[in-house]
Structure 1
Amino acid sequence: MTTRTPNPIVEIGLLVYPGAQTSAVGGLVDLFEVANRIAGEQASSQLPVLRVSQWRFNPDSQRAERSTDSHAEADSRLVAVLVPPSLAGLPSSAELQPLAGWIREQHAAGATVGAVCLGAFFLAETGLLDGRTVTTHWTHAKALAERYPRLKVEADKPIVDDGDVITTAGLMAWAELGLRLVDRLMGPSIATHTARFLMVEHSDSAQACGSNFAPILSHGDAAVLRVQHWLQAGGAVDVSLAAMAERAGLEERTFLRRFRSATGLKPTEYCQHVRVGRARELLEFTNGTVDHIAWTVGYQDPGAFRSTFKKITGLSPSDYRRRFGVSAPAQPA
């Protein structure tokens, strides 16, 4: 009799802070439970089981600690930390700082961090958003930009998926954030079926052109992870193998071997995915020409950009914009 190998367990942590929207926390718990149920119907030992834990700040230990856990008996570490929205006023630095260090620790250990609406303030306090484009609810965009001037806040974007950091704008955007993670961890089919069961919308661009780039961050190689965070934060623009190896503190040949082993990609391929992900966002939400977008994401040769974009998404940049852009381009692309 063959013993079935148990499905791997991956843990998603929900940060429940004072004033956090309880409906969003409960909704995410339900969404991941639905995804687990749908995945379980596939009878596949390859699909992971999502362990959902809730974390609250303990003033005695000055750290976030698990308060509830869907699989308390499991041994796992966080692959993602999600910060829900709030209906309360803007959080003060005194409220944010105790949790900022913990979020930073989880990110440094390989967890993707995501925030809904006002939750972006928690991520901004960590410094992880410095130099990045982020989004939040339009009523708080000005305050976020003023308090954290190193951020580029674009509240007109419903979601900004930057690989290791995801921010969403609307109070109800927790559903799309949750589905993005289901897509990454279980695949687009499970995400689509979960959205259909819950009768919520899911990004058409992600379904039609493959998921947005979801880098492997849980490999445990600290030197490679340091480079990945650096590439994601800077958009992988104008970087060289020598610069990446230096950032990792490794000799180039050693870096190449360890990077590919950890991420499954060559450094050049990884950078292409980061750049194309940023380009998809610009094509969907801005009116810049394709040539200008190519330059913005780090391509001096627009032809090379078009070729790489089509290889990764299956569409030319112009076709992608026609299908998924929120507004027509300012001039022919």
Structure 2
Amino acid sequence: MTKHVQITIIDYPNALQSAVQGFKELFFLANRIVIESQLEVQFSVKVIQPDIDLDGMCQNDIIILPPNLDGDYYYTPQPKLLQYLNEAHQKGTILCSACAGTFILAKTGLLNNRVATTHWQLADEFHEAFPKVSLEIESLLINDGDIISAGGLMSWIDLGLEIVAQFTKPHVMRTLGKFLIVDTGKREQRYYGSFSPKLNHGNKQILLVQHFIQANYSKTLNVSVLAALACMSERTFLRQFTHATTLKPIQYIQKIRVQKACELLESTTHSFERVALNIGYDDVNSFRKVFIKIIGLSPTAFKERFV
């Protein structure tokens, strides 16, 4: 007997339409591969709009909140939608989100004390809005059982493939990925991210230090020098810098340098050794370890993927 996996896609205001329709087509293609594989499962997909279609909905296996294209609906979703998601979750529905859709999911309170991800550029806003959620922004996708979240704008494809693998067989997902010509191997969102320093915190002394680091990242920098620039004791400087930027000074400097290294690797033909020297590292092996820790790829793998 064929099992029908009931999937509902929430087409909220300004949802990314390529994702809304793309999910339908992805699961349609998955169904064809499932039939060819002689598996007794099929995906049934419906698209609903939260302002008119939430009443009298049947049981779902999965509800998907797609990425956002424009506007700010994901900041203030309708209470009716939040109630719908909560009630569905209580009945055993798996809730899924991609990109800014995770904001809507977090508004339900169901992510409190749970792990999730969203678009890397939205990390600071998400932290401020939902401090009880453990945000793993480097992850492209987090499958936490009853809740699955994906990161970037196009991560809806990764989310769709994850659902296919979970409800069919991994080889169906891989076959679908080959047909779509998309990468089904392990990826992380930090491969694609870039460091955007937090500058709107209101601490003028710390902002002065940040501007100094930006202009002098290739020079020898330490807490003593930076604290003196801010006219603070080292202890006070460490506390205020970490509070304002969410990073310790050494972590902040490393991220600035790695960002500059990525830019040089992408825009020049310089070797990684030369790049490391240009941004202030005499110990190339030490910087390679820092690069891998932050980006998740070796410099060679980074160049192969993006250059």
Fold match (TM-score > 0.5): yes
Alignment-mate amino acid for residue 57 of structure 1: P
Counterpart position of 1:326: 296
2:31 is the counterpart of 1:36: yes
After TM superposition, the score normalised by the length of structure 2 is: 0.58
Counterpart position of 2:79: 97
Shift of 1:145: 1.3
Alignment-mate amino acid for residue 7 of structure 2: I
Q: Is the 8 A contact 1:56 1:64 kept in 2?
A: no
* Alpha-carbon distance between aligned partners in 1 of 2:105 and 2:85, rounded to the nearest angstrom: 8
Counterpart position of 2:21: 26
Alignment-mate amino acid for residue 128 of structure 2: E
Residues 77-92 of structure 1 mapped to structure 2, 5 A cutoff: 77-91=59-73
Q: Is the 8 A contact 1:138 1:169 kept in 2?
A: yes
Shift of 1:152: 1.8
What SS is found at the alignment partner of 1:140? helix
Shift of 1:174: 0.5
Shift of 1:176: 0.7
Shift of 1:96: 4.0
Shift of 1:154: 2.6
2:98 alignment partner, one of 116, 127, 138: 116
* Alpha-carbon distance between aligned partners in 2 of 1:79 and 1:123, rounded to the nearest angstrom: 16
Residues 279-298 of structure 1 mapped to structure 2, 5 A cutoff: none
Q: C-alpha root-mean-square deviation of aligned residues, in Å? A: 2.3
Shift of 1:204: 4.2
Distance of aligned partners of 1:83 and 1:165 in 2 relative to their CA distance in 1, 3 Å threshold = same
Shift of 1:92: 6.0
Alignment-mate amino acid for residue 130 of structure 2: Y
The runs of at least 4 aligned residues of structure 1 exceeding 6 Å deviation read none
Q: 1:26-53, CA deviations, whole angstroms, 9 ceiling, x for partnerless residues?
A: 1111110000001111234xx2110011
Shift of 1:139: 1.7
| Structure 2 unmatched ranges of 5 or more | 188-294, 299-307
Q: 1:251-287, CA deviations, whole angstroms, 9 ceiling, x for partnerless residues?
A: xxxxxxxxxxxxxxxxxxxxxxxxxxxxxxxxxxxxx
Counterpart position of 2:50: 57
* Alpha-carbon distance between aligned partners in 2 of 1:180 and 1:85, rounded to the nearest angstrom: 16
The structure with more radius of gyration: 2
Shift of 1:93: 5.4
Residues 209-220 of structure 1 mapped to structure 2, 5 A cutoff: none
Alignment-mate amino acid for residue 58 of structure 1: D
2:179 is the counterpart of 1:179: no
Q: 1:53-106, CA deviations, whole angstroms, 9 ceiling, x for partnerless residues?
A: 1121235x8x3677xxxxxxxxx7311111000121333654342211111111
* Alpha-carbon distance between aligned partners in 2 of 1:97 and 1:13, rounded to the nearest angstrom: 18
Residue identity over aligned pairs, in percent, reads 31
Counterpart position of 1:196: 178
